[in-house]
Amino acid sequence: MKVDLSELKKRLKKIKLVACDLDGTLLSSENQVGEGTMQLVKELKDHGIRFILITGRVHSASVKYAKKLGIEDPIVSLNGALVKFPEGETIKAFYLPEKKVLKALDLAERYFVNILFYSEDKVIYTPENTIFPSYIGNLEAETMEVDSYYDHTDKVLRVVFSSDRSLVLHRIAHKLEPPFFSNISTSIYPSLKYDRLTYLEVKRRGISKATGLKYVCKYYGLKRREIAGIGDFYNDLEFLKKVGVAVAMKNAIAEVRFNADYVTTKTNDEDGVSEFLEILLDAKKSA
């Protein structure tokens, strides 16, 4: 529900932290951060306002943007599965039960499908999984090629299968996720790059960007009304409903725009984030 500018500025005076999505929001189509945003993040920091990244990417694929912005606060990555400082301490990690990881390996071998792991900082794969280097390249993540997965099953945040036989992946998903009281969830989606290839993701159930943001707020002792969020896509919806001021990009999907308090007049390719940060800074200066 949109609010008028006077009400928006009134709410913005209470803001102490901005949680910003990466792809489609902070980053342009060329994975660039706008000059205006970089300058405003520094100015907001001088006014005591933190700026954090909240993303579906793996942690290592987000750190370089945190460094570019001079951010030292935690990054919420893998859609809330990991909350970790750019260099160092982990606040919260939602690992998959090792028993489920071992079962996933067994199923991958039984059905002859590709598989990889996400750890806190790296995407792990074996030489046999030849399809994944191109998949990983799109993630901008650090990688680690290993001889065997069995030495890396204890701290896995996500498992990804790939196959050109989607029915097989549905069968694997059914075996991994029983109908009642499962602590994991699965999702199946087609590759954007390879026509016949399908992916199956396995992660902890009930984890979202909102979950990760909750741990950041707890760490800093912040209340909902003191948080602003900026996003553009389905995976941003839940966390944007948990903040004091929800901002949607002009290029956001309709549902995100409908639920936002403010929609930018610029897209991610026009540095739309800086538009909101300018309004926030003005509100702080007049407080």
Residue 94 has pLDDT above 70, yes or no: yes
Instruction: Tell me what the mean pLDDT of segment 55-84 comes to.
Output: 95
pLDDT-derived band at 52, boundaries 50, 70, 90? very high
Looking at 70-222, list the stretches that DSSP marks H as alpha helix, in order from N- to C-terminal side: 98-111, 132-137, 166-176, 209-220
pLDDT band at 193 (very low <50, low <70, confident <90, very high): low
Evaluate whether 20 touches 26 at the Cβ level (below 8 Å). yes
Cα distance between residue 176 and residue 169, in whole Å = 10
Amino acid identity at 132: F
Rounded CA-CA distance 69/145 in Å is 30
pLDDT in tens, 267-281: 999 999 999 999 999
C-alpha distances in Å from residue 169, one per residue of 108, 123, 186, 267: 9, 20, 10, 36
Q: What is the pLDDT of residue 134?
A: 56
Contact (CB, 8 A) for 281 and 40: yes
123-149 pLDDT tens trace:
898 988 756 555 555 567 888 889 999
pLDDT at 78 > cutoff 90: yes
Judged against a pLDDT cut of 90, whether residue 6 lies above it is answered with: no
Euclidean distance between CA atoms 75 and 71, whole angstroms: 9
pLDDT of residue 133: 52
Look at residue 1 in the predicted model and tell me its pLDDT: 61
Given a cut of 80, whether residue 204 has pLDDT beyond it is: yes
- Per the CB < 8 A criterion, the answer to whether 277 and 40 are in contact is yes
What is the set of domains in the chain, with CATH numbers? 5-93+207-285 (3.40.50.1000), 98-204 (3.30.1240.10)
pLDDT value for 3: 78
Rounded Cα–Cα distance for residues 208 and 21 (Å): 13
* Separation of alpha carbons 201 and 191, rounded Å: 12
Report the percentage of the chain scoring pLDDT > 90. Answer: 76
30 to 26, 36, 118, 269, 286: CA distances (angstroms): 11, 16, 24, 8, 35
pLDDT of residue 132: 57
**Beta strands in the chain, from DSSP E residues, in sequence order:** 17-20, 50-53, 75-77, 82-84, 90-93, 114-118, 123-125, 143-145, 158-163, 184-190, 198-204, 227-231, 245-248, 262-263
Asked if residue 115 has pLDDT above 60, the reply is: yes
Which pLDDT does position 140 carry in this prediction?
76
Q: List the strands of the sheet with 82-84, edge to edge.
A: 75-77, 82-84, 90-93
pTM of the complete model: 0.91
Contacts for 238 with CB less than 8 Å, ≥ 6 apart: 208, 209, 210
Task: Give the mean pLDDT of the chain.
Answer: 92
- 91 Cβ contact partners less than 8 Å away, ≥ 6 residues apart: 74, 83, 84, 85, 215, 216, 219
| Rounded mean pLDDT, 165-191 | 86
Q: Which two tokens stand for residue 260?
A: 């936002």
